[in-house]
Amino acid sequence: MPDIFISYAHEDKKWAEAFEQDLQARLGPNVDIYRDNRILVGMHIDGHLMEKVRNSAVFVPVISPNWLGSAYCQKELREFVASGESTRILCAEMLPVGELPEPLPSIRRQVFYGGDPATKLRRDSKKYEEGVARIAEAFVQLVKDCPEPQINGLVKEIREQAKPHIEHRCGTMKILTMTQPIEVGGIYTDINILERPLASRRRSIEEILADIQPSALDRLGIAQAKERVPALDAVVRHARLMVMGKPGAGKTTLLKRLAMECIHGRHRPHLVPVYVPLRELMERPEKETLGQYIRDQWNGHPHTERVLRAGRALLLLDGLDEVLTADQPRVRRAVDEFPACPTVVTCRIAAQEYVFEHFAEVEVADGRADAHAGHHDGTGAHGSCGELAVRDARAVGVADDDVRRAGDRARERDRAGRHRGDHGAG
């Protein structure tokens, strides 16, 4: 979600560009200012641009005779007002105009012209600098006046809208050996978490040790012991989590259980759960973003991007291994689109072609009988989402060259093995 959307006429592009730069300098790099520099005379305004308008926190029109006469600029204004945010408009009046459309006549305007006849203020003039400063101060005040309560209301509203979809999509699982789907609440998953697992689990420890110097073992974490913790605890502990596992190990089950726990208020009730099969996302039109896909799930809610930019969704992205190699850059863009949102991605072991930065990597445990001991809570229900076996690992730094080369060799061997036909289901 842009913090500020600058609406301007193409003829005023040079002034609008300088104004954006000066406003950005005043507000700092953490404020997201959006000004569509692709606009040309006669260009069709697409849905992407209108989505930016609707989801902006503050609308700043660069008012001039050109802006007033532009049908595109008037459409942007109407779209923003229709989103219910008419009080969040800051007018930068570059040149005087006649009668303004509603609700602009009642909104205070910062004047950036002077003289008779009126001319634009020079960028290096004191009055221009004071005008930019006043716009910046007004923006800060607007954001202060109505932040969190509004977001909380939106999250509550969207959770209610999304609940039927989540229950339909994530409430049951079809098991191959059973004729009827069963409730996800009756399934649980054991997970071993490794802060940075080896590139391949198909190699034996002896093979790995043959390639790596003993001094590197501590950095790889091989020498550290594991302890079990509840899966929900691990998800809370790591804002961005990569869950890896063998085919049929329960990765999808875990994501669906997390979605159900969240939508029913038992896990992160302040977030909206979003379950996204990555293969399904990649089958949508190439230009469609994750935000647009989620907006469809949320029944076209006009403040979808605002909630996502605020980090108020739990993103559950399933099946990285099912994505074609050609689509991997698009997946990376999707994963990076909303960095403030807690995110869990699943992938089959040895199918991960590249590493996502800032993700802790975890592994679904083998389904051995002893691994399930102690999960039943005595009430007829299984423990919440199973357990995790955790290594108390340090933050992963850059390994020495010998360690990186060992990992590269492992990945190349696995890639060759997969090309020979090892393509089990995930």
Q: Domains in the chain, ordered, with CATH?
A: 4-146 (3.40.50.10140), 154-419 (3.40.50.300)
Cα distance between residue 46 and residue 420, in whole Å: 45
Q: What is the mean pLDDT of residues 46-61?
A: 82
Of residues 159 and 353, more confidently modeled: 159
pLDDT on residue 150: 72
| pLDDT band at 271; cut points 50, 70, 90 | very high
pLDDT on residue 351: 59
Cα distance between residue 387 and residue 364, in whole Å: 10
Of residues 314 and 424, more confidently modeled: 314
Q: Has residue 92 got a pLDDT over 60?
A: yes
Q: What's 10's DSSP letter? A: G
Of residues 236 and 390, more confidently modeled: 236
| pLDDT band at 165; cut points 50, 70, 90 | very high
- Strand arrangement, sheet containing 109-111: 33-34, 4-7, 58-63, 91-93, 109-111
Range among 131-145, 222-236, 274-288 rated most confident:
274-288
Helix 290-297 vs helix 47-54: crossing angle, to nearest 10:
70
**Dihedral of alpha carbons 135, 137, 142, 147, sign:** positive
- Our separate counts of H helices and E strands in the chain read 15, 17
| pLDDT band at 186; cut points 50, 70, 90 | low
Q: What is the mean pLDDT of residues 3-31?
A: 92
Cα distance between residue 193 and residue 362, in whole Å: 4
pLDDT on residue 166: 94
Q: Which of 390, 359, 355, 386 is nearest to 372 (CA)?
A: 386
| pLDDT band at 135; cut points 50, 70, 90 | very high
pLDDT on residue 287: 80
Q: Has residue 408 got a pLDDT over 80?
A: no
pLDDT on residue 405: 44
Identify the residue whose tokens are 């989103």: 83
Contacts of 342 (CB under 8 A, 6+ apart): 235, 239, 240, 268, 271, 311, 314, 315
Q: Has residue 129 got a pLDDT over 80?
A: yes
Q: Which of 39, 262, 79 is nearest to 162 (CA)?
A: 262
Q: How many CB atoms lie within 10 A of CB 174?
A: 9
Contact criterion met (CB below 8 Å) for 245 and 349? yes
Q: Which amino acid is at 140?
A: V
Q: Has residue 372 got a pLDDT over 60?
A: no
Contact criterion met (CB below 8 Å) for 258 and 273? yes
Q: Has residue 148 got a pLDDT over 80?
A: no
| pLDDT band at 305; cut points 50, 70, 90 | confident
Cα distance between residue 244 and residue 96, in whole Å: 61
CA distances from 375 to 136, 231, 406 (A): 55, 12, 37
pLDDT on residue 306: 82
Residue 413 in tokens: 């061997």
pLDDT on residue 228: 56
| pTM exceeds 0.85, yes or no | no
Contact criterion met (CB below 8 Å) for 346 and 317? yes
Cα distance between residue 241 and residue 385, in whole Å: 15
Q: What is the mean pLDDT of residues 175-193?
A: 53
- Give the 3-state secondary structure of residue 360: strand
pLDDT on residue 280: 93
Contacts of 23 (CB under 8 A, 6+ apart): 4, 33, 60, 132, 135, 136
Contact criterion met (CB below 8 Å) for 350 and 201? yes
CA distances from 349 to 6, 86, 246 (A): 46, 50, 6
Cα distance between residue 103 and residue 79, in whole Å: 12
pLDDT on residue 368: 42
Question: pLDDT tens digit string along 195-238?
Answer: 444 444 445 555 555 555 555 544 444 444 455 556 676 777 78
Range among 11-15, 226-230, 327-331, 374-378 rated most confident:
11-15
Q: What is the mean pLDDT of residues 19-40?
A: 84
pLDDT on residue 374: 37
pLDDT on residue 358: 78
Does residue 230 have a cis bond before it (omega within 30 degrees)?
no
Burial class of residue 293 (count of CB atoms within 10 Å of its CB; 0-12, 13-18, 19+)? middle
Q: What's 16's DSSP letter? A: H
